[in-house]
Amino acid sequence: MAAAIAVATKAFSSLGVESRGGNKFQCRFHEFEVMQRKSRPRMRFFLPSPSCPPRALHDDRNARAEAAETEKSPSATPEGDDDSSYSVLSCMTSQHNNIVVVDTPKSRFLLLDSSHNIHSMLNKDQIWTGSYWDEFASLPAIVPQGPIAILGLGGGTAAHLLLKLWPSLHLEGWEIDEILIDMAREYFGLSELEKSTQAGGSLSVHIGDALSESATVQGGFAGIIVDLFSDGKILPQLKEVDTWFEIERKLMPHGRIMVNCGGVHSELSGSGDKTAEMILSTDSWVKNSTIKALCKAFPGKLSWKIMAEKDSDNYLALTGPLPDLDVWSAALPSQLSLNVRQWRPCELAC
């Protein structure tokens, strides 16, 4: 549930707020900074002390002008947000995360852990995020009928998309952080997803370890979405072949797993043109430890893609034979139909 996306601004002056007690706590924002990368922008908050109540963060004119010029995709500052204020709706600590909810006129963002990266987002005037969550919504078109698991539910971005496009789906979401789920229900509309749609679909939320043996359903899942990160990094268990054997056993026949394998820059070394060349090469996935583990677990039955540069730099992986891309594309809305044509098999020796 980590995103390779961002809202960009320049550093802001320090803002102090009073303690509100309980497990909300005092915080002082020393920086709210723009970080621009060719392959992905990133929103990062610096929270030297734990949590804070709502407070508007107003950017200066130069920061707004720079953001308006450079940040174009929905996964960065949504249109109209770059010339307004940012509000921190809630800031809390839990056993697992430092949780921050940021609101803008067009979008709402969930920031977690010490990386302060965006882990979930909710656009107020459209469903599409311009990031890897959109890709997850293409999975139901290529799996059998049956429940779909989301391992790493976060604020429910993927669940929103899935139920909007496929309202009869039965989703089973696992999240280890109960406080995060409470905040997602309050600020990201998660509680609405737990209600049955007119077509009979819904989301069931499970609090617990997504990799435990109990994270399963009778008969198996038609599809499993894996989006598991901690402290800004993909879980180390996902770099182990045995982990994928265990997840595979939770599938029904012909089921598939779709995985957010993390960003390019976390795996590639080097700089400049050399790094860019490696990212664009047909075998750049060999530098991603998670895809390498998946390739060993599913030899000859693994596909991969990298998100378009303007959206993010995340690798995605898909188990099972490479689908008929024409049929898959035709079954999807236009916002996704071209994207699925970018999937390619992992053909090199693993």
- Compute and round to an integer the Cα radius of gyration of the chain: 20
Report which of 333, 334, 293, 299 is spatially closest to residue 315, judged by C-alpha positions. Answer: 293
Q: How many other C-beta atoms lie within 10 A of the C-beta of residue 292?
A: 18
Contacts by 291-294 with C-beta closer than 8 Å and gap 24+?
Answer: 291/261, 291/315, 291/317, 291/346, 292/239, 292/350, 293/238, 293/239, 293/240, 293/241, 293/243, 293/244, 294/244, 294/259, 294/261, 294/319, 294/346
The pLDDT, as a whole number, for residue 28 is: 35
The pLDDT, as a whole number, for residue 264 is: 61
More reliable by pLDDT, 87 or 24: 87
Q: How far is CA 151 from CA 45, 85, 308, in A?
A: 25, 33, 24
The pLDDT, as a whole number, for residue 163 is: 98
The pLDDT, as a whole number, for residue 137 is: 98
Single pTM value for the model: 0.76
The pLDDT, as a whole number, for residue 172 is: 99
Across residues 129-145, what is the average pLDDT? 96
Across residues 283-311, what is the average pLDDT? 82
Q: Domain segments of the chain: what residues?
A: 15-123, 132-345
More reliable by pLDDT, 36 or 109: 109
Q: What percent of the chain has pLDDT over 70?
A: 67
Per DSSP (E only), the strands in 47-165 are: 55-58, 85-93, 98-103, 107-112, 117-123, 148-151
Does the pLDDT at position 275 exceed 90? no
Read off the tokens for 77.
């500052």
Q: Please provide residue 296's backbone torsions phi and psi, each rounded to the nearest 5 degrees.
A: -70, -35
- The structural architecture, per CATH, of the domain 132-345 is 3-Layer(aba) Sandwich (3.40)
The pLDDT confidence band at residue 262, using thresholds 50, 70 and 90, is confident
Across residues 219-236, what is the average pLDDT? 94
The pLDDT confidence band at residue 166, using thresholds 50, 70 and 90, is very high
Question: What is the full DSSP assignment across 257-289?
Answer: EEEEEEESTTT----HHHHHHHHHSTTGGGG-H
Contact 210, 227 (CB under 8 A): no
